[in-house]
């Protein structure tokens, strides 16, 4: 068995805020192999974006980030020098952000910004970088690619800009792509196109991808692995088909109830909701963070929660099967 | 089973995860911000002292600021070997320097307050009208602001004071009529923002008259910006008066103006530099205090705009 | 873009005409310019003769257009004091003032921009506090007093620099500092605020994600965007500075246009004063117009629209 491309153990991110510490990410573990797509799912504020920024080494100076292990192809990312991190960023691991409208520098042309990463990391002449940029713009489905190079970001629509961002991330042929809600800011009609494009390119180039999203529909279509994040913890991780067919954590089940599933959701029946709000993570947080919204909550939820594994499929819950023993409805859902 | 679980009161206890820390009230927040802002506190304290000195000048000043004494000319201050008879020494006409400084505070503060008030009234009227009515009114006001900004202030003020003759009244009037630009710019921008708010639309919807809306809806909401500009323009006016008087075309002798004192001391600067240093330092401290207060007020009333 | 420039140009011309009218009207502020010119001891006949000589007996508007028409041809009349054409007098002195203005704004930019960038890179650090303190103190420092202190220290005590005059480059060192420091607080604050805003923007994160070095992020990606408003502020400050050179030139006896203005005001030489006010205003108008154009050209969003 080869070593995974990326392995993260006990990643913790703390942010100092007025009057305490915000424990934004609290000890998460996951691994990723070459060619795999991992989807991290969760509500806004659950720590998904911080996790991705931590991997890229782009957290602000005030934010403290620790982990037992955070290795990218044998490089310990947390110990790496700033110079070493720079040589990885944009070259072997790159990132696509949520906001295509503001993620491009308004002062430079598309061409300059596309070529920058390649000129920074590889000793190539401008002409070669230019050819690569044109090639990639065509790959992401932009017509008249050569003439686009001289345009400025404000002359492009949001969808086009996100295509440019994707091309930019691919310039140096990275092994890992982190896409942080790459389609959220776009029109619904364009979302599917962009996502399909991104996934096709990742498969074609045999890259690993971490796709951060709150859209379970997207996850079902593209993920190899799923990690469900809630309030700074991974409450459930596993192969996509297992998580979808047999959600074990009450939160995952709640999420799946919120979207219509062909064949499972009855016509005319209202979709599920998860009552309550995400708790504050400032100060010490003990026990299960989902207990305030969980219908299976028992007093033991205030204590430490064990991690339960079923092969690759893991979750964190006091209940052995992820629901209170006497709850038949949930049992049915689990067994189905 | 723990003790807490058997306690019936525990049943309605809020889960610690959901307990939110009760935040302080807006009033408490404002008070703590004011006290916590070093610059603001220093500015207010220094300015208050200066104002008290100016008001009670006749009681505080050890001598008549105009009384000359040819026998006691250019006495050095105490810290340079002088006597306590004249703690800050005497000038070239033997007038007590400390007393002149104390009366000079009156001149500076008087000019600052009145000039800022005059220009404040002009500038606010223009700015609010431009911001509220927009359109042609706005175009005219913006044009006037541009014209005003194009005129070199020091030069125009000097020329007008020279033509009309230098007196306290003329200097105040000229500065008051020249320094309205920043009021107009800031009040125009603030009014434009406030005009779009829902409560203004609501007032219009219930049929409030325009003057009423301006007075009861617009003005209270731009007042904090106005106060900040007032302080900054006070400082500006005080500095300009000092500069005009220094150039010999502002307040005329024997009025004790700090700018004039620097100018008079200039000729003896080579041998008695303190004659220049002391009044300039006092002027610097006063203006610094006013600016600290203005900057502090801006930070405290609009922390989100801090930059 | 062309439309924008033409609109600005039209506005600038309109402002210039209004300013010219105001500076001309100054002559009539005293009531009777002929009497003011003749002095207090003059007889009624003398005043009457002067009035006819200078054409003060004509309607004011006629006199204004007459003056404006001449001014447009470069003729600002004759100085009451020197009995020489005003245009020539001013032209001879402008070189010194322009040189001082260019030195002053360069000095201000060279100090304030790096300081603003450094302050924005480390908010609330010692350097940030220092920069903020300097900007608050700088705004409160009376320039005439600052100039005198420099003279006492560097010319009298240390003897490094000449206290006054216009003969060598050393004469310009202290005036440059005194003129330049006045523009620093505003430039520093705007640079800092602009950099802070830009550094928080998404495209800076994109640049970092590409593996760009901190230096490259700061100067190529951030400063390029943050500097746009600073450029136009600098042009505006340059206009203010030339108008403010009167104080500096009088302290250091630098014989430029500002010094001429001071002398002419003291001598009641109104044609010279009028012309100087108009010329200083023109500088301001030209500089703000250039700032607008430069601004539009630096910002791709405006350049291409």
DSSP 8-state class, residue B80: G
pLDDT of residue B233: 93
Of residues A146, A150, A180, A147, the one with CA closest to residue A162: A180
CA–CA gap between residue A218 and residue C199 (Å, rounded): 32
The minimal CB distance from B17 to the residues A19, A279, A299 is found for A279
Tell me whether C260 touches chain B (CB under 8 Å). Answer: no
pLDDT of residue B6: 40
Percent of chain B with pLDDT over 70: 87
Tell me whether A26 touches chain B (CB under 8 Å). Answer: no
Q: Comparing B170-184, C39-53, C123-137, which segment has the lowest mean pLDDT?
A: C39-53
Give strand ranges (E) for B59-213: none
**Yes or no, beta carbons of C29 and B163 under 8 Å apart:** yes
In chain C, domain spans: 95-259
**Yes or no, beta carbons of A117 and C221 under 8 Å apart:** no
In this prediction, residue C37 has a pLDDT band, given cuts at 50, 70 and 90, of low
**Yes or no, beta carbons of C205 and A165 under 8 Å apart:** no
In this prediction, residue A261 has a pLDDT band, given cuts at 50, 70 and 90, of low
Tell me whether A291 touches chain B (CB under 8 Å). Answer: yes
Q: Is residue A13 part of a domain?
A: yes
**Yes or no, beta carbons of C148 and B266 under 8 Å apart:** yes
Reported ipTM:
0.86
CA–CA gap between residue B77 and residue B278 (Å, rounded): 10
Residues of C in contact with B152 (CB under 8 A): 240, 242-244, 246, 277, 280-281, 284
In this prediction, residue A329 has a pLDDT band, given cuts at 50, 70 and 90, of low
Residues of A in contact with C208 (CB under 8 A): 58, 89
Tell me whether C277 touches chain B (CB under 8 Å). Answer: yes
Compute the Cα dihedral for C131, C137, C142, C147 and give only its sign. Answer: negative
Model confidence at A335: pLDDT above 80: no
Model confidence at B212: pLDDT above 90: no
Model confidence at A127: pLDDT above 50: yes
- Structural contact between residues A76 and A145, judged by C-beta atoms closer than 8 angstroms: no
The DSSP string of chain C is: -HHHHHHHHHHHHHHHHHHHHHHHHGGGTTS-HHHHHH-TT--HHHHHHHHHHHTTTS-HHHHHHHHHHHHHTT---B-TTT-SBHHHHHHHHHHHHHHHHHHHHHHHHHHHHHHHHHHHHSTTSHHHHHHHHHHHHHHHS-HHHHHHHHIIIIIIIS--S-SS-SSSGGGGHHHHHHHHHTTHHHHHHHHHHHHHHHHTSHHHHHHHHTT--HHHIIIIIIIHHHHHHHHHHHHHHHHHHHHHHHHHHHHTT--SHHHHHHHHHHTT-HHHHHHHHHHHHHHHHHHHHHHHHHHHHH-HHHHT-
Tokens representing residue C295 in the block: 């601004």
Model confidence at A264: pLDDT above 70: no
The residue among C120, C203, C218, C304 with the most chain A CBs within 10 A of its CB, best to mutate, is C203
CA–CA gap between residue B203 and residue B197 (Å, rounded): 10
Tell me whether A19 touches chain B (CB under 8 Å). Answer: yes
Tell me whether A22 touches chain B (CB under 8 Å). Answer: no
**Yes or no, beta carbons of B17 and A19 under 8 Å apart:** no
pLDDT of residue B113: 94
Higher per-residue pLDDT: B28 or C290: C290
Percent of chain C with pLDDT over 90: 18
pTM of the model: 0.81
pLDDT digits (tens, 9 = 90+) for A237-253: 989 888 888 888 888 88
Q: Is residue A316 part of a domain?
A: no
Residues ≥6 apart with Cβ < 8 Å to C129: none
For residue A195, how many C-alpha atoms fall within 13 Å in the half-sphere facing its CB?
A: 28
Average pLDDT over residues C35-60: 73
Q: Cβ of B20: how many Cβ atoms within 10 Å? A: 9
Q: Is residue A22 part of a domain?
A: yes
pLDDT of residue B15: 57
Tokens representing residue A219 in the block: 């996850």
Average pLDDT over residues A261-270: 65
Q: What b/e string do you get for A202-214 counting C-beta neighbours within 10 Å, with b at 16 or more?
A: beeeebbbbbbbb
CATH top-level class of C95-259: mainly alpha
| B-C Cβ pairs (cutoff 8 Å, strict) | 136
pLDDT digits (tens, 9 = 90+) for A31-49: 898 888 999 988 877 888 8
DSSP 8-state class, residue B256: -
pLDDT digits (tens, 9 = 90+) for B104-134: 999 999 999 999 999 999 999 999 999 989 8
DSSP 8-state class, residue B215: I
CATH number at residue A51: 3.40.50.300
**Yes or no, beta carbons of B158 and C265 under 8 Å apart:** yes
Model confidence at A69: pLDDT above 80: yes
C132: left (phi > 0), else alpha (psi -120 to 50), else beta? alpha
Q: How far is C117 from chain B (nearest CA, A)?
A: 13
Model confidence at B305: pLDDT above 60: no
pLDDT of residue A328: 52
pLDDT of residue B177: 92
**Yes or no, beta carbons of A106 and C203 under 8 Å apart:** yes
CA–CA gap between residue B120 and residue B130 (Å, rounded): 15
- Of these ranges, B190-199, C21-30, C110-119, the one predicted with the greatest mean pLDDT is C110-119
State the residue range of the domain holding A61: 6-92+172-248
**Yes or no, beta carbons of C139 and B158 under 8 Å apart:** no
Average pLDDT over residues A111-138: 90
CA–CA gap between residue C293 and residue B213 (Å, rounded): 39
Q: How far is A302 from chain B (nearest CA, A)?
A: 9
Higher per-residue pLDDT: C250 or C32: C250
Tell me whether A158 touches chain B (CB under 8 Å). Answer: no
- Structural contact between residues A164 and A151, judged by C-beta atoms closer than 8 angstroms: no
The minimal CB distance from C281 to the residues B152, B235, B276 is found for B152
Tell me whether A289 touches chain B (CB under 8 Å). Answer: yes
pLDDT of residue A326: 63
pLDDT of residue A144: 87
CA–CA gap between residue C127 and residue C136 (Å, rounded): 14
Q: Give chain A's end-to-end CA distance (angstroms, integer).
A: 33
The minimal CB distance from C211 to the residues A87, A104, A108 is found for A87
**Yes or no, beta carbons of C284 and B143 under 8 Å apart:** no
**Yes or no, beta carbons of A19 and B20 under 8 Å apart:** no
Tokens representing residue B69 in the block: 């004494």
pLDDT of residue B307: 34
The minimal CB distance from A155 to the residues C207, C213, C304 is found for C304
Mean pLDDT over the full length of chain C: 85
The minimal CB distance from C142 to the residues B150, B242, B249 is found for B242
Residues of C in contact with A95 (CB under 8 A): 209
CA–CA gap between residue A229 and residue A213 (Å, rounded): 10
Residues ≥6 apart with Cβ < 8 Å to B40: B34, B292, B293, B295, B296, B297, B299, B300
Residues of C in contact with A155 (CB under 8 A): 304
Higher per-residue pLDDT: B16 or A190: A190
CA–CA gap between residue A128 and residue B272 (Å, rounded): 73
The CA-atom distances, in angstroms, between A127 and each of A123, B173, B301 are 12, 68, 55
pLDDT of residue C305: 60
| A-B Cβ pairs (cutoff 8 Å, strict) | 17
In this prediction, residue B14 has a pLDDT band, given cuts at 50, 70 and 90, of low
**Yes or no, beta carbons of B18 and A292 under 8 Å apart:** yes
| A65 phi, psi to nearest 5 deg | -135, 120
Residue in chain A closest to B22 (alpha carbons) equals: A19
Residues of A in contact with C212 (CB under 8 A): 86, 90, 116, 120
Model confidence at C68: pLDDT above 60: yes
CA–CA gap between residue A126 and residue A180 (Å, rounded): 30
Tokens representing residue C259 in the block: 């010094």
Model confidence at A98: pLDDT above 60: yes
pLDDT of residue C30: 66
In this prediction, residue B296 has a pLDDT band, given cuts at 50, 70 and 90, of confident
Q: Comparing A94-108, B39-53, B55-69, which segment has the lowest mean pLDDT?
A: B55-69
**Yes or no, beta carbons of C210 and A89 under 8 Å apart:** yes
Number of structural domains chain A divides into: 1
Q: Comparing C12-26, C185-199, C232-246, which segment has the lowest mean pLDDT?
A: C232-246
Higher per-residue pLDDT: B26 or A46: A46
Q: Cβ of B54: how many Cβ atoms within 10 Å? A: 19
Model confidence at C34: pLDDT above 80: no
**Yes or no, beta carbons of C277 and B146 under 8 Å apart:** no
Tell me whether A17 touches chain B (CB under 8 Å). Answer: no
Peptide bond between residue A182 and the one before it cis (omega within 30 degrees of 0) = no
Average pLDDT over residues B50-72: 84
**Yes or no, beta carbons of A279 and B5 under 8 Å apart:** no
Tokens representing residue B144 in the block: 């006037």
Residues of B in contact with A282 (CB under 8 A): 21
Q: How far is A280 from chain B (nearest CA, A)?
A: 6
Model confidence at B8: pLDDT above 50: no
pLDDT of residue B129: 92
| C243 phi, psi to nearest 5 deg | -65, -30
Q: Comparing B2-6, C96-100, C119-123, C221-225, which segment has the lowest mean pLDDT?
A: B2-6
**Yes or no, beta carbons of B284 and C29 under 8 Å apart:** no
Percent of chain B with pLDDT over 90: 32
CA–CA gap between residue B221 and residue B199 (Å, rounded): 11
pLDDT digits (tens, 9 = 90+) for C69-118: 888 888 888 888 888 888 888 888 888 899 999 999 999 999 999 999 99
Q: How far is A329 from chain C (nearest CA, A)?
A: 46
CA–CA gap between residue A207 and residue A92 (Å, rounded): 10
| Length of chain B measured in residues | 307
Other chains touching C, judged by 3 or more CB pairs under 8 Å: A, B
| Length of chain A measured in residues | 336
The CA-atom distances, in angstroms, between B218 and each of B121, B191, B208, B221, C11 are 15, 7, 12, 5, 30
Model confidence at A325: pLDDT above 60: yes
Average pLDDT over residues C4-32: 85
pLDDT of residue C110: 94
| Interface residues on C facing A, Cβ-Cβ cutoff 8 A | 201-203, 205-214, 216, 221, 224-225, 299-301, 304
pLDDT digits (tens, 9 = 90+) for A149-201: 999 998 888 888 888 998 999 898 899 999 988 887 777 787 888 888 888 88
The residue among A302, A303, A305 with the most chain B CBs within 10 A of its CB, best to mutate, is A302
pLDDT digits (tens, 9 = 90+) for C147-197: 999 988 888 888 787 777 777 777 888 999 999 988 899 999 999 999 998
**Yes or no, beta carbons of B249 and C143 under 8 Å apart:** no
CA–CA gap between residue C300 and residue C303 (Å, rounded): 5
Model confidence at B303: pLDDT above 50: no
Burial of C169 (0-12, 13-18, 19+ CB in 10 A): exposed
pLDDT of residue B224: 83
């Amino acid at each position: 068995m080869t070593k995974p491309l990326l392995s993260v153990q006990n990643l913790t991110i703390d942010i100092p805020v007025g009057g305490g510490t915000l424990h934004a990410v609290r000890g998460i573990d996951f691994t990723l192999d070459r060619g795999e797509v991992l989807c991290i799912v969760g509500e806004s504020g659950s720590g998904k974006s911080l996790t991705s920024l931590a991997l890229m080494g782009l957290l602000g100076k005030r934010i403290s980030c620790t982990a037992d292990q955070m290795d990218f192809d044998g490089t310990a990312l947390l110990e790496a020098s700033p110079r070493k991190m720079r040589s990885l960023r944009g070259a072997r691991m790159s990132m696509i952000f949520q906001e295509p409208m503001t993620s491009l520098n308004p002062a430079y042309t598309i061409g300059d910004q596309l070529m920058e990463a390649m000129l920074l990391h590889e000793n190539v002449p401008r002409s070669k970088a230019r050819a690569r940029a044109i090639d990639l713009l065509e790959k992401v489905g932009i017509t008249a690619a050569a003439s686009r190079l001289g345009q400025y970001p404000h002359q492009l629509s949001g969808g086009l800009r996100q295509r440019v961002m994707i091309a930019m991330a691919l310039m140096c042929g990275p092994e890992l792509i982190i896409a942080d809600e790459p389609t959220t800011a776009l029109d619904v009609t364009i979302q599917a196109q962009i996502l399909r494009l991104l996934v096709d390119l990742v498969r074609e180039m045999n890259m690993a991808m971490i796709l951060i999203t709150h859209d379970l529909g997207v996850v079902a279509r593209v993920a190899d692995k799923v990690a469900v994040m809630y309030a700074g913890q991974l409450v459930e991780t596993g192969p996509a088909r297992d998580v979808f067919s047999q959600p074990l954590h009450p939160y995952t089940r709640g999420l799946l109830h919120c979207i219509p599933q062909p064949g499972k959701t009855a016509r005319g029946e209202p979709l599920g909701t998860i009552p309550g709000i995400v708790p504050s993570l400032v100060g010490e947080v003990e026990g299960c963070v989902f207990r305030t919204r969980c219908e299976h909550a028992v007093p033991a939820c205030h204590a430490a929660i064990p991690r339960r594994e079923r092969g690759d499929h893991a979750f964190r819950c006091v209940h052995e099967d992820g629901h209170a023993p006497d709850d038949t409805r949930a049992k049915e859902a689990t067994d189905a | 089973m723990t003790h807490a679980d058997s306690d019936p009161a525990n049943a309605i206890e809020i889960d610690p995860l959901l307990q939110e820390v009760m935040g302080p009230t807006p009033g408490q927040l404002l008070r703590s911000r004011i006290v916590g802002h070093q610059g603001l506190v220093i500015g207010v304290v220094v300015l208050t002292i200066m104002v008290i000195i100016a008001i009670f000048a006749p009681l505080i000043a050890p001598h008549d600021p105009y009384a000359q004494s040819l026998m006691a000319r250019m006495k050095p201050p105490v810290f340079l070997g002088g006597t306590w008879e004249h703690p800050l020494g005497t000038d070239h006409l033997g007038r007590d320097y400390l007393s002149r400084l104390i009366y000079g505070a009156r001149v500076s503060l008087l000019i600052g307050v009145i000039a800022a008030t005059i220009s404040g009234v002009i500038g606010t009227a223009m700015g609010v009208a431009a911001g509220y009515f927009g359109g042609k009114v706005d175009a005219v006001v913006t044009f006037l602001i541009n014209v005003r900004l194009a005129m070199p202030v020091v030069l125009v003020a000097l020329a007008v004071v020279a033509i009309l003759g230098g007196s306290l009244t003329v200097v105040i009037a000229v500065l008051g009529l020249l320094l309205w630009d920043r009021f107009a710019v800031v009040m125009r921008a603030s009014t434009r923002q406030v005009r779009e708010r829902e409560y203004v639309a609501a007032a219009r919807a219930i049929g409030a008259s325009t003057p009423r809306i301006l007075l009861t809806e617009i003005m209270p909401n731009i007042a904090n910006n106005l106060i900040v500009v007032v302080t900054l323009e006070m400082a500006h006016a005080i500095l300009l008066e000092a500069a005009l008087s220094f150039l010999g075309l502002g307040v005329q002798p024997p009025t004790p103006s700090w700018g004039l004192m620097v100018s008079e001391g200039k000729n003896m600067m080579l041998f008695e530099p303190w004659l220049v240093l002391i009044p300039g330092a006092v002027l610097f401290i006063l203006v610094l205090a006013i600016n600290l207060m203005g900057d502090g007020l801006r930070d405290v009333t609009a922390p989100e705009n801090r930059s | 873009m062309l439309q924008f420039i033409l609109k600005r140009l039209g506005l600038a011309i309109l402002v210039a005409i209004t300013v010219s009218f105001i500076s001309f009207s100054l002559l009539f502020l005293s009531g009777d310019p002929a009497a003011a010119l003749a002095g207090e001891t003059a007889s009624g006949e003398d005043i009457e003769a002067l009035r006819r000589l200078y054409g003060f007996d004509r309607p004011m508007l006629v006199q204004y257009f007459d003056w404006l028409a001449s001014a447009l041809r470069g003729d600002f009349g004759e100085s009451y004091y020197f009995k020489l054409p005003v245009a020539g007098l001013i032209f001879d002195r402008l070189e010194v003032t322009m040189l001082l203005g260019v030195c002053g704004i360069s000095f201000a930019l060279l100090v304030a921009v790096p300081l603003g960038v450094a302050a924005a890179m480390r908010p609330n650090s010692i350097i940030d506090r220092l920069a903020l303190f300097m900007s608050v103190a700088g705004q409160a420092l009376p320039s005439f007093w600052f100039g005198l202190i420099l003279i006492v220290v560097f010319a009298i005590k240390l003897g490094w620099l000449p206290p006054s005059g216009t003969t060598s480059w050393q004469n310009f060192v202290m005036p440059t500092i005194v003129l330049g420091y006045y523009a620093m607080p505003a430039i520093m604050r705007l640079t800092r605020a602009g950099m802070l805003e830009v550094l928080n923007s998404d495209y800076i994160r994109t640049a970092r994600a590409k593996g760009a070095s901190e230096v490259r992020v700061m100067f190529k990606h951030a400063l390029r965007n943050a500097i746009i408003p600073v450029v136009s502020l600098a042009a505006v400050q340059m206009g203010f500075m030339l108008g403010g050179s009167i104080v500096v030139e009088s302290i250091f006896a630098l014989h430029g246009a500002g010094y001429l203005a001071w002398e002419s005001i003291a001598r009641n030489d109104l044609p010279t004063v009028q012309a100087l006010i108009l010329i200083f205003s023109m500088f301001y108008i030209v500089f703000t117009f250039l700032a607008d154009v430069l601004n539009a050209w630096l910002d791709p969003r405006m350049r291409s629209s």
